[in-house]
């Protein structure tokens, strides 16, 4: 019985492997996150190896081995995205978050669709806002979303007021439960921005106003929350900080 399968894939991560091979992590439409070795992928004449680039959309045929999956063939589904430096930096956040918050061989076609739409939208809209919306949607789809509709301590729903956010406790804390230990201000405007980004339709995005202070506040809180969830710094987010993006 053959263990081969073919699927549409987005390349999340590629690195050199051994002397002449490549190791790749992809997210597929029907098989979720997969990892495989492209044997001989570093040889100049190896077509599959040349196609294995971050953010590429490919049709891959993979042999599922007992210990290691192997790439048999691949071909382009669409032309490579012509991203500029800034867009590529934010695209790296999207692919790294997808790699971190998904499990191997767990089909999540909605995540595949979200990632596909995100990479395309990066070329058309403000990448900073696109990636924030992507991160919120991804956390929601994978079950890691912060609790923002009610206090994580007492469960009380919030009135129209500024409250607090606790990355450690996984969400928003009301003023009555606030104890200042690792908690940061979560303004009413930031809460509304979060809600707007979560419901943003990537296929038909409607314009809405964004205040710089609220955007910075949401980025700060969300990236700290992600750090607590992953228990390790993410290279792509660190790179954004180093570049002032």
Give the model's pLDDT for residue 2. 57
Mean of pLDDT values over 228-243: 89
Mean of pLDDT values over 154-183: 87
pLDDT value at 17 more than 70:
yes
Domains along the chain with CATH numbers: 4-76 (2.40.50.140), 85-242 (1.20.1440.120)
Percent of the chain's residues with pLDDT above 70:
98
Average pLDDT, the chain: 92
Give pLDDT tens digits for 29-41.
999 999 999 999 9
pLDDT value at 81 more than 80:
yes
What is the per-residue DSSP string for the chain? ---EEEEEEEEEEEEEETTTEEEEEEEETTTEEEEEEETTTTSTT-HHHHH--TT-EEEEEEE--SS--EEEEEEESSPPP---HHHHHHHHHHHHHHHHHS-BT---HHHHHHHHHHHHHTTTS-HHHHHHHHHHHHHHHHT-PPB-SB-TTT-PBP-SS-EEEETTTTEEE-TTT---SS-EEE-HHHHHHHHHHHT--SSSPPP----HHHHHHHHHHHHHHHHHHHSS--HHHHHHHHTT-
pLDDT value at 1 more than 60:
no
């Amino acid at each position: 019985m053959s263990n081969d399968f073919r699927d549409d894939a987005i390349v999340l991560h590629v690195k050199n492997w051994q002397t002449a091979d490549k190791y790749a992590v992809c997210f597929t439409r029907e098989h979720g996150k997969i990892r495989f070795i492209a044997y001989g992928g570093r040889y100049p004449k190896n077509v599959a190896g040349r196609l294995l680039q971050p953010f590429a959309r490919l049709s891959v045929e993979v042999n599922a081995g007992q210990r290691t999956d192997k790439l048999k063939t691949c071909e382009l589904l669409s032309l490579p995205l012509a991203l500029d430096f800034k867009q590529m930096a934010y695209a790296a956040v999207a692919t790294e978050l997808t790699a971190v918050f998904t499990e191997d061989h767990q089909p999540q076609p909605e995540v595949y669709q979200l990632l596909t739409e995100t990479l395309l939208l990066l070329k058309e809209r403000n990448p900073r806002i696109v990636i924030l919306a992507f991160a919120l949607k991804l956390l929601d789809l994978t079950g890691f979303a912060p609790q923002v509709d009610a206090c994580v301590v007492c469960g009380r729903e919030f009135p129209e007021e500024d409250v607090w956010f606790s990355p450690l406790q996984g969400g928003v804390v009301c003023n009555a439960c606030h104890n200042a230990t690792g908690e940061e201000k979560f303004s009413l405007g930031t809460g509304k921005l979060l809600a707007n980004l979560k419901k943003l339709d990537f296929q038909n995005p409607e314009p809405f106003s964004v205040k710089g202070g609220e955007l910075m506040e949401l980025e700060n809180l969300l990236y700290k929350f992600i750090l607590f969830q992953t228990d390790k710094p993410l290279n792509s987010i660190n790179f954004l900080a180093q570049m002032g993006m």
